[in-house]
Structure 1
């Protein structure tokens, strides 16, 4: 049985420490996965702060984790991430964490689960999809709708064959051509026609805010209750401790209270 990375500490360290890169997977020109050798406790859905001395720091989601390692999907979009892309196997990342609240994995065990994710929003749920694909007896049914802009932006192509083999996977593209691996359209186009047992299915939604908005609206139209839906609001996080106020929504600090929220709570957030 594959080990779950569910251990947490009540008080993550606030000082960064160096940890070596043990593997790099280049998905696209802009998105790479860095596997870091570390003993930091992590839960799927949490995040760590990655820093480089004299350059800066960035919060990065834990996309997967195991005994002695975590995976971080990093998108090269700025000063810090650009510098991280210059690193090679054997170099170090400075990390602190893990922070926030992750997915309630135990709640999904032996139940029905739908995961709807878009773009780099697939990264925070990648470890969860991997776990239930390697341990299919621990979930009743798993449906996945993953949306990307085009073929060139698709992440985790190698892993998808296993996900599709043991569960139900739909990968949809905004543009391009459909074939046996890819459909065309928005994630909501396929969600609209998906047959689900509403009473027994939990849902995880990760992606851009506008995508989350319309997916949740469609789920409610299908009869889902807010308590059945979990959303991931990874946005504008900075300090990880709720001090800078950068990720504040009303009285909620995403970095401390999230980034994973039950929608019964998240519906009332003031942005």
Structure 2
């Protein structure tokens, strides 16, 4: 037993080399890297991506399958600049996966609402795909995705298939509205279109910028959702990912260990 525990600790603390299988360019700043993978992953977890002599960065696992994970990476700094110079076949280093993900059993046979904005769509992409492929396991699936403009839309190739499996609402802050496809405004503007008749047991997942999370949660509670049935993702300011550096600490909570997925009944007490 002790030997297996030490082996597991070494695995999640030491980065290992993995090959890039595929790169898909979503926007000029956001690319999806499909990378080989041989460790267990849950929806909502993240990994540390590193390049020797350059550095490392925490990245959400946006999706995964047999022998691979998807990492939607935004070009924002030294590490990501270097990643954008790589091509399929190149090697990157990973450690993880880290954090608490989503318990899928929590959503079975209940109405599920997913609200995500901007790059916050990435952490729930795989979860959305899962429920679209198994829509019979939830009572009703509604999804609201918000972007700044048409050029910033992620996962354009998947949108049509998602629309066939769920009630999908796409909002843009800028651009031309299309009543059959998307509307101008914020994600909170579309909450009035959601069926909240079973709000006492309905589950909701909210991912995005802090301001968007707060305004969305406020409106969900007004519609009758319970705090313990609202899930939020606070993945930000990660550094070591193992609770040692304190960069992600909010009060007594270490987001990298206790999150990044929290129920709002826990998250509402986290004052940053």
TM-score, normalised to structure 1, is 0.94
- Output the CA distance in 2 between the equivalents of 1:195 and 1:177: 26
2:4 aligns to what?
none
RMSD after superposition: 1.2
- Output the CA distance in 2 between the equivalents of 1:36 and 1:25: 12
1:183 aligns to what?
183
Cα deviation digits, residues 137-157 of structure 1 (max 9, x gap): 222211000000000000001
2:192 aligns to what?
192
Contact 1:192-1:218 at 8 Å conserved across structures: no
- Output the CA distance in 2 between the equivalents of 1:119 and 1:252: 26
Aligned positions of 1:142-181 closer than 5 A: 142-179=141-178, 180-181=180-181
TM-score, normalised to structure 2, is 0.94
- Output the CA distance in 1 between the equivalents of 2:217 and 2:134: 28
| Alpha-carbon offset, residue 10 of structure 1 | 7.2
| Alpha-carbon offset, residue 56 of structure 1 | 0.3
Q: Secondary structure at the match of 2:271?
A: coil
Aligned positions of 1:97-246 closer than 5 A: 97-179=96-178, 180-196=180-196, 197-246=198-247
Cα deviation digits, residues 30-64 of structure 1 (max 9, x gap): 00000011112110100000000000000000000
* 5+ long unaligned stretches in structure 2: 1-6
Q: Secondary structure at the match of 1:199?
A: coil
1:70 aligns to what?
69
C-alpha distance 172-239 of structure 1, shift in aligned 2 (>3 A)? same
Aligned positions of 1:91-102 closer than 5 A: 91-102=90-101
Structure 1: 4+ residue segments shifted above 4 A: 9-12
- Output the CA distance in 1 between the equivalents of 2:207 and 2:58: 17
